[in-house]
Each structure stands twice: as C-alpha cells, then as structure tokens.
Amino acid sequence: MRLTSTLTVLLAFLVAAIVATITAVISVRQIEASSERGVSIALESDGINWADVSANGLQVYLSGTAPTEAIRFRALTVAGSVVDSHRVIDGMEVADAADVAAPQFSVEILRNDDGVSLIGLIPAETDREQVVNSITDLADGASVTDMLETADYPTPDGWNVALAYAMDALATLPRSKISINAKRVQITAISDSVDERERLEQQLLRNVPEAVELVLDISAPRPVITPFTLRFLIEDGVAKFDACSAETDAAREQIVTAAQTAGLAGEPDCTLGLGNPTPRWPAAVAQGIAAVADLGGGSITYSDSDVTLVAAPNTEQELFDEVVGKLESNLPDIFSLHSVLPQPVQIDGTDQGDGPPEFIATLSPEGVVQLRGRLTDERVRSAVESFARAQFGLDNVFAATRIDPELPDGWPKRVLASLEALGQLNNGSVVVQPDFVEIKGATGSTGASAEISRILSDKLGAAENFGVDVTYEEKLDPTSELPTPQECVDSINAALTSSKINFAPGSENIDPGANDTLNKIADIMRDCQDVKMEIAGHTDSQGREEMNQSLSQSRAEAVLQALMARRVLTSNLSAKGYGESRPIADNDTEDGREENRRIEFTIITDEDTAEADGDGESPDEDAQAGTEDEQN
C-alpha cells in the first residue's frame, strides 16, 4: 500500500511536470511568433524590407545587409520599439561604401572698384596662397576676400591651364566676373568703350588655350550719338542703311522690321546709343522707310529731328507729292521734313566739262591727298589746304585748285565737310557739286559709312543730297593685321639674326652698337604688346656657375629695361637668367661658347604658366630669337 501511494504521488508529479513543460514550450513559441511577427511588421512599415527577423526564445535576431550604417541603426531602433531592446540581437552587416565621386572643382572671381572676391572649391594641390597673392597684387590695394575651399582629390585635366588663363584675363578686366572649371572659362565684363571692348575681345580670343572653352560677354556703355543719325536708301532695287541709330533693342527691332519690309536683306548693323531726340524716333523712322519703298527708290536721312527725303531722279511728280504729303502729315510734330525731287546727277569728277562746278579730293592707299576743282577765293583756298594738311599730314597734301568767285553760297562749308568725311576712308574720293556730294572708297572700319553719313548730314544740313558708296575691306582693318604670337617671335628672331645684341665682356651693359637692333625689336613689340614673352639670358660654362647665373639674369633685365626706355609696354614681358644650365652647343670650342652666350625671346603660353606653377620649371623654348655677346 505504501509503495502504491508513493508511485501515485510520483506519477502525479511527473504528469504535472510534463504538462508544465508542454505549456511553457507553447508559451515560448507564442512569444517567439508574436515577437517575430511584430518586429517584421514594424520594419516593413518603416520601409526596411531587406532585414530578416527570427526569434529564439525571448531573443529577436536581425540579419541581412544594410545599405548604410545609419539605416542599420534605424532597423535596431525600430525593433527596439516593439520588443525590449535588450532582447534584440544585431546580426546585420553594412554594405561596402561606394567610392565617393570627386567634386566639381570651380571658382568664381568677382572684381570691381571695391575689390576682388573669390568663392569656390579648388584641388588641394593648387597653390591657394599663390592664387590669392597674385590677385592681391593686381587688386592694387583694394580688398581681396578669400572664400575658397579645398578638397583633397586629384586635379582634373585642364584645371591649371584654365585657372592660369582666367588669372591673366582678370588682370585686364577691372570690372568683371570670371567663372572657371577644368574645361570652361566664362567671362562677363564691362569695358570703357566699344573700341576697348573690341580690343579686349580680340586679346582674350587670341590667347585662349585650345583645351578651354571660352564664353565671352563684354559689354560697353552705349555711346552718345550726336547728331542722332539714320540714313536708309534704295538704289537700283537694293535697300541698305548707310547709318542706323536706335536707343533700345525694341526700337532697333521696329526699325529693322520696317527696313526688311521695304526689301532689306539680312540683319543690318544698327548702333544702340544715347541721344535720341524723341521716344517716337522708331515710329518716325519706320514711316520714312515706308515712304522710300512707296517711291520705289531714293533715300531718307534723319539727323536729330531734321528729315530729308530725296526721291530717285526719275520719280513721277504726282507720286512724289502723294508720298511726301502722306509722310508729312504722319510724322510727329517734332520732326521737320524737307523733300527733294532732284534732277539726274552727272558726276564728272574732273571739273572740266559743261556740268556743274566741282571740287574733287582723292586719297590714295599711300595716304597722299590731291585737291582739284574750284574754291571761292584765296582765303578759302588757304583754309581748305590747311585743314587738309591737318587731317592727312603736312607732306601728304598736293593742291591744284582754281578760284571761282561765282560759286554758290555755302561752298566752303561743303568742301570742308567733304574733306572731314574723306578722312574716314583708307582710300577713295569725294566730289562736291552745288546740289550733291558723292563719296566713294574703301575702309577698314565697319562704322565708317555711318560716321560719314553723320558728318555730311550734320555739316551740310538736313536738306542736302549726298551719296555714300563705301566698302569695308578686312585687310584694311588695323586689328586684323595684328601678328600672332608666333609671328611676333619670328619677327624678333629675324631682327636679331641680322644684327645681334652684344654686351661688354663680363658686364650687363649693352653695347651701343645694339641700339638699332633694340629699336627694331621695340617697333615689333608695339604690335605684340598682348603677347606674353620671356627674355631669357644664357652664358657659356666659363667661370663660376653662380656668377654666370647672376650675369645672365642681369643681362636679361638689361634688355627689358632697354625696351621699356623705348616706350614699349612691358607688362607681358619677364626677364629670367639661366646661366650655363641650358647650352645649345659644345662649350669646349670657341664657336660653341659663342652660341651658348645668347638672349632668347620665348612665347609664354598658359600651359607653360601652369607647369611653372606646378613644378618650378621654365617655359619651353620652342621659339627663340637671337644670340648675345661674344663672351661672358
């Protein structure tokens, strides 16, 4: 009995233990499932769908590869918000970070009268201090604000070249914004005049490196046009402007549209400037252009508020009256219209025929002016000849005029105006008649035709009839004849080959016999002032190396000073001595030593400047000129 009771008790305990164990297992399974499901749902809701969730007892395991460390930490936080964070076991990995792309290096430089500011990101290899110091030098006492940042990434191809070119451009542009990256330089600037703008544009375009894209926008203040002149004509069915002036882009567009409607082909050059006599100028001009088209030919000239309409000689009187009446009634009150239906003009050009009296002046391509025809009296003849000599040169004027006291009133004024107009040409002629002035010729100035029309309309009066037949020839344009940098060095080379520069032995004093050579170089340099060149001094190997180095530097500087004394702008010239370090011949022979003693003119390119900034080496010596003295 006792044994049976004991077994019963043990069996009861065993059954209870089994039941408890089963119950505990079921509870753990429920907790695991609940935790796993809750964490999974929370992660999915937060967009974390890469993480795997598993539970083992009370612990929740997170596995998978997180894109970033921040997202891995976010997953732990989300899981910790569902179950106790101490129960969350981190088994996650973080993906390897991709290589960070190099930043876009760029600099923006702003310069005005108040100073210069720099902002941007440059490579750590760029000598930031040198850049800032160079700008400080050209700022000439104005403040320099440095807001540059650096990044330790490789310098991109073209960066040094673009930066060097931009720095050179900044030196010539006191009011500018320059944006720089490795492949592009964008320049926005303001110049003092239209001529200055053209000079700067040519200089910048000529020196731009091949690897750099240049975007150039240089503006100039609008000129004051006085008198405010416009001249439109139709001759032999061809419409053109001799002069065109407008105050705004909108006014120019209105005028050009009217001219194109009247038969003008292409886009004319219409100058924007100040001096417009009335806001109704473009409307009045458009009406006048339409009147010339209605007549089928002729010209209309606006000089401030004076308007002259000249019909073609064969125009019918009835049509002429109708067109003039319509224009006169439509023009704003401020304008005064004078209309002319001329007789056919017969230009003899010799003053020898039966036609009207003439004064003729011809200008040859060599600058020689011949005066022929009639003048009113000796006093007028003296005044005309004096004016011509002042205009064209004392020794360039030859006069063969004759006196005619019967000439009409205003003849001297017409003659002087014609000579002033002739001064706008490189070569040509002018014929003055009582009712007509004709000027023909060639010019190297794109604005000559407009300026001639302005002179004649102002000096002759609005009621006068004149003809302008002027051709622009690029070869006559002085800016088109500027030599290239290579041509500059080649010219210097030719001068030094024919007569070299000598120095006193062991001295930096230039031999007086070199004056003619220096004068030739100075003449060449006046057309090459924008070309960067290095004057390099070299010696042979005789003597101490330090002495040769110092002597070569002094001689190079002596040449630079000699050119400066001849009024050559030397801002783009530098002098550097190389001593005996760069021989071009054998120093063991006298002939070789003489070849090594030399002065060289070398083009400095933007690439050379960038290389010199980077490694301290001097520019290549592909182009050189001349030899120096006979001994150290």
Report DSSP letters for 426-494, one per residue: SEEEEEE-SS-EEEEEEES-TTHHHHHHHHHHHHH-TT--EEEEEEE-GGG-GGGGPPPHHHHHHHHHH
List the Cα angle 567/572/575 in 5-degree steps: 90
Q: What is the pLDDT of residue 22?
A: 56
Q: Which residue has the tokens 């022929």?
A: 372
CA atoms of 632 and 630, how far apart (whole Å): 7
DSSP bridge partners of 403: 375
pLDDT at 627: 40
With cut-offs at 50, 70 and 90, classify the pLDDT of residue 28.
low
Residue 403 has a pLDDT of 94
Q: What's the mean per-residue pLDDT of the chain?
A: 84
**For residues 15-44, average pLDDT:** 67
pLDDT range class, residue 508, cuts 50, 70, 90:
confident
The pLDDT value recorded for residue 27 is 57
Q: Confidence class of residue 622 from pLDDT cuts 50, 70 and 90?
A: very low
The answer to whether residue 616 scores a pLDDT higher than 50 is no
In this model, does residue 590 exceed pLDDT 50?
yes
What type of residue is 231?
A: R
The band of 511, judged by pLDDT with boundaries at 50, 70 and 90, is: confident
Gap between the Cα atoms of 110 and 119, Å rounded: 9
Identical fold, 106-219 and 359-478: yes
Say yes or no to pLDDT of 219 above 50: yes
Domain 106-219 coded CATH 3.20.20.220: no
The helix/strand/coil state of 259 is helix
Give the per-residue pLDDT at 625: 42
The CATH number of 2-94 is 3.30.1340.30
Is residue 624 scored above 60 in pLDDT? no
pLDDT at 619 over 70: no
Q: What is the pLDDT of residue 546?
A: 87
Q: Which residue has the higher pLDDT, 514 or 176?
A: 176
What is the domain partition of the chain in residue ranges? Answer: 2-94, 106-219, 229-340, 359-478, 483-615
Q: Is the pLDDT of residue 190 over 50?
A: yes
Q: Which class would CATH give 359-478?
A: alpha beta
From the options 3.40.50.10140, 3.40.1190.10, 3.30.1330.60, 3.40.605.10, give the CATH code of 483-615. Answer: 3.30.1330.60
Of 173, 171, 118, nearest to 146 by C-alpha is: 118
Domain formed by 229-340, architecture: 3-Layer(aba) Sandwich (3.40)
Structure tokens at 154: 């490789």
The answer, yes or no, to whether residue 454 has pLDDT greater than 80, is yes
Question: Rounded to an integer, what distance in angstroms lies between the CA atom of residue 273 and that of residue 241?
Answer: 17
Contact predicate 202/196, CB 8 Å: no
pLDDT of residue 517: 86
Burial degree of 402 (CB within 10 A; 0-12, 13-18, 19+): exposed
Contact 307, 288 (CB under 8 A): yes
